């Protein structure tokens, strides 16, 4: 049993959860950088990262929008703690905040954010189709949501990866299913970005004005 399994990737906890989150900050760095290249945000944008984990994405978002407030949301106590530790300087400056909460019922007013991201967390969302409607609710009109992951359904994975998807019960749609999920949730447009030579995906949902 490896650190990832002991740490519980669905809801990191305890010592092994902390170690796993540290590893994720490193392992997910490149796919995060690639996915965030599709985020178009003003310097004063208010941005949200759902499932903020170890906190590395929050720091990247603070560089994209250095004059805005960056919010992180996670339902794991361990993840909230690690994200706060990783961004303690930005929190003290009032540029980042990390809140405990669930994507299924987020503690934010409707239309709160100029952009929303999630990195390597959608696999574990409780009710993906309904949770996307909650993302749409807290997103401002005309803004976008980016769902970034390093695997997607239909890709020709090796046996070990297929076994991990099965073992951890990962929700892993195909690109076509990602697009359908976003449109069915009420996003006015959906675009799928794939990085050639990899299994990386960035599913982008746009919210039109007046939703």
Domains of the chain, start order: 3-206 (3.40.50.150)
Closest-CA residue to 153 (of 141, 166, 144): 166
d(Cα 84, Cα 11) in Å, to the nearest integer?
17
Write the burial class of residue 175 (CB in 10 Å: 0-12 exposed, 13-18 middle, 19+ buried). middle
pLDDT at 46: 98
pLDDT at 202: 98
Q: What is the pLDDT of residues 161-202, one digit of tens each?
A: 888 888 888 899 999 999 999 999 999 999 999 999 999 999
**pTM, full prediction:** 0.90
pLDDT at 160: 87
pLDDT at 3: 43
Q: What is the pLDDT of residues 57-69, one digit of tens each?
A: 999 999 999 999 9
Scanning the chain, the segments in alpha helix (DSSP H) are 3-7, 14-27, 29-36, 56-64, 77-86, 88-92, 128-138, 159-167, 175-185
Torsion of the alpha carbons at 106, 107, 110 and 113, rounded to the nearest 10? -80
pLDDT at 30: 92
pLDDT at 1: 31
Per-residue model confidence as pLDDT tens for the chain (211 residues) = 344 555 567 666 566 555 556 567 667 889 999 999 999 999 999 999 999 989 999 999 999 999 999 999 999 988 999 999 999 999 999 999 999 999 999 999 999 999 999 999 999 999 999 999 999 999 999 999 999 999 999 998 889 888 888 888 889 999 999 999 999 999 999 999 999 999 999 999 999 986 5
């Amino acid at each position: 049993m490896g650190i990832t399994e002991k740490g519980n990737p669905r809801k990191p906890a305890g010592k092994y959860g902390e170690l796993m989150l540290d590893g994720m900050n490193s392992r997910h760095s490149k796919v995060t950088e690639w996915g965030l290249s599709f985020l178009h945000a003003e310097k004063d944008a208010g941005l949200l990262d759902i499932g903020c984990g170890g906190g590395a994405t929050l720091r990247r978002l603070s560089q994209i929008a250095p004059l805005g407030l960056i919010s992180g949301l996670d339902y794991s106590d361990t993840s909230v703690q690690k994200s706060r530790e990783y961004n303690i300087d930005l929190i003290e400056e009032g540029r980042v905040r990390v809140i405990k909460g669930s994507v299924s019922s987020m503690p934010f007013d409707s239309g709160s954010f100029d952009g929303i991201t999630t990195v390597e967390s959608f696999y574990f969302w409780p009710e993906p189709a309904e949770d996307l409607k909650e993302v749409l609710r807290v997103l401002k009109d005309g803004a976008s949501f980016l769902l970034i992951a390093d695997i997607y359904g239909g890709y020709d994975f090796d046996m070990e990866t297929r076994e991990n998807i099965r073992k951890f019960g990962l929700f892993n749609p195909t690109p076509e299913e990602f697009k359908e999920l976003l449109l069915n949730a009420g996003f006015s447009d959906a675009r799928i970005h794939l990085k050639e030579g990899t299994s990386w995906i960035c599913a982008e949902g746009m919210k039109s004005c007046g939703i």
